[in-house]
Structure formats: structure tokens, C-alpha cells
Amino acid sequence: MSRIRLLGAVSLLVSIGFPTALAAQEMISDTTARKQPLTTWGVQLEEFEYRYSDDDEELGVWDADSFYGTDELKLRWISKGEYSLEGRAYESLENQLVGQVPISRFFDAKAGVRFDTPEGPDRTYAVLGVVGLAPQWFEIDANLYMSDEGDTSADLDAEYEWLLTNYWILYATLDATVAFSEDREIGVGKGLVSTETGLRLSYDLIDRTFSPYVGVVHERKYGDTADFAKAGGGGTEDWFAVIGARIAF
């Protein structure tokens, strides 16, 4: 606080010192093009993988994220999907379009819409979330959703990167979804819906641009959601071996 006040005093002194000199001539103003905010963009496939389950199920899975914007405002397109290679259908397919603004030193808030268009009924959601880096270097992405059917839910993604070396990285991920009301049509029960836990070992082959990995993923459904899945003839728990790559531009 005292530092800020001191700086304020210094800049005040500086500004007081000027007027007499400036009055003598016209101000030269700074008209450089770089006075425009710097815009950046990025595209990342956090997960782009083939999954093989203990039930011989085969999936193609991606989790992609693109952004464009400035330090103060970014537009983000998040795309996630699970494609069944046997069923030739999307088990899940989700696209989010959100605006993102910084709210603290390490966290951003985001708001926007999410479109779910898998095999079966579609849903549109309003999204409100926070994303950032928590103490001890956990990457956190937490969101609240309200669907066009009026159902509310939340999810939490946490990720931890353990740098074994500068190239070998072990990623631990946890995704958990909770529903505050039941949406039977899409098989979602009230309470804890599902978790997906993953452990992936990657190697940065081309800088951080292309990092192939292998790993294991555990998916589980809980409570009413598990019951709905069983009633529909589906499983409630899966172990997957995964092979894929992280790709970033």
C-alpha cells in the first residue's frame, strides 16, 4: 500500500514539474500503431486420443480449445467429443462459445453458451465459469450450466502436470459432473453424475507443439445416473487404455 502511495506521489511530482515546459510548445502525442491492444490466438488439442476399454469398446476422443483476444477479453471455443468407432455415433459432443475476462491474478471468469449435439436429444446451456491456476499448480476449470429444459448442473476439471524432466510429463486429470436436477431424457440423475479420472505420460516431441502420450482413463457413473445407464443396457464403469497426442499451435 505504501509503495502505491509513494508511486502516486512521485508521478504527481512529475506531472507538476511539466506544465510550465509544456506550455511553451505543442504536445507531441504518441500515435504509434502499437497503442492498439495486442491480440493473441491459440489452438490446443489437450486430448486427441484413441480409447480402448476393458469391454472392448473403442472410442475416438478429443478435447480442444481455441482462443482469440487480448489480455482483457478473450473469445474461446471449447470442443469436446467422444465418438464410438463401432456404433459410428457420438456418445458425447459438446461445443462451448464463451467470453473470458480476468478477475484475479490467476483466475478468469467466463460466460457463454454450450451446445450438446450427440446421438440422441440435443441440449443448449448457458455457461458461467471460472478457469485458472490454483495454489500448488492445479489447473482448475469449474462451470455452472443451465439447460434450455431448465435443468442446472456443474462440472469441475482439475489437472496437474508433473514434470519428470523437461520433456517427459505426467498429467493427472479429474473431471466430475454434478446435476442439481434430473434430466431423464439424456440420462442424467440428480446428484453426482459421473467422474473421469486420467493419468497420461507424454513426451514433448516437437517443442510443446506435438506431444504423444499413453495413459489410462477411468470413467464411472453414480447414483440415479448409473441406474438410468443400467436400465438402458449400458455400463456404469469403464477402464480405458489411451494413446494419443497433445497438439498446440
Partner 1 sequence: MTYFDVRIPGLDMTVVQADGNNVQPVNVAEFRIGVAETYDVIVRPREAQAYTIFAESMGRSGYARATLAPEEGMEAAVPQLREPARLTMADMGGMPGMDHGSMAGMDHDSMEMPKGGASDPFYAKGSGLVPVAANGGKFLSYADLKAQNPLYEDREPTREIELRLTGNMERYIWSINGVKYEDADPIRLQYGERVRFKFVNETMMTHPMHLHGMWSILEVGAGQWNPIKHTVSVQPGATVYMETEVDEPGQWAFHCHLSYHAAAGMFRKVIVEGGPESAQAKAGATTEEGGDA
CB of 5 to partner 1, least distance (A): 13
Q: In this structure, is the dihedral angle defined by the CA atoms of residues 64, 56, 236 and 174, taken in order, positive or negative? A: negative
Maximum distance among all Cα pairs of the chain, rounded to whole angstroms: 86
Instruction: Tell me the C-alpha distance between 209 and 247, whole Å.
Output: 5
CB of 176 to partner 1, least distance (A): 24
CB of 95 to partner 1, least distance (A): 25
Task: Give the dihedral of Cα atoms 175, 155, 117, 51; nearest 10 deg.
Answer: 0
Decide whether 20 or 86 has the Cβ nearer to partner 1: 20
Decide whether 100 or 153 has the Cβ nearer to partner 1: 100
Place of cell 502499437: 34
In the complex, which residues of this chain contact partner 1 (CB under 8 A)? Answer: 3, 7, 10-11, 14, 17-18, 21-22, 24-26, 28-32, 34-38, 71, 102, 105-106, 133, 166
Decide whether 37 or 121 has the Cβ nearer to partner 1: 37
Q: Within 13 Å of residue 139, how many CA atoms lie on the same side as its CB? A: 9
CB of 109 to partner 1, least distance (A): 14
CB of 71 to partner 1, least distance (A): 5
The one-letter amino acid code at 188 reads: V
Decide whether 18 or 180 has the Cβ nearer to partner 1: 18
CB of 41 to partner 1, least distance (A): 13
Decide whether 56 or 207 has the Cβ nearer to partner 1: 207
- Cell, residue 90: 457420438
Decide whether 149 or 161 has the Cβ nearer to partner 1: 161
- Cell, residue 9: 506521489
Q: In this structure, is the dihedral angle defined by the CA atoms of residues 222, 223, 227 and 228, taken in order, positive or negative? A: negative
Q: Where are the beta strands (DSSP E) in 148-209?
A: 152-163, 168-179, 191-203
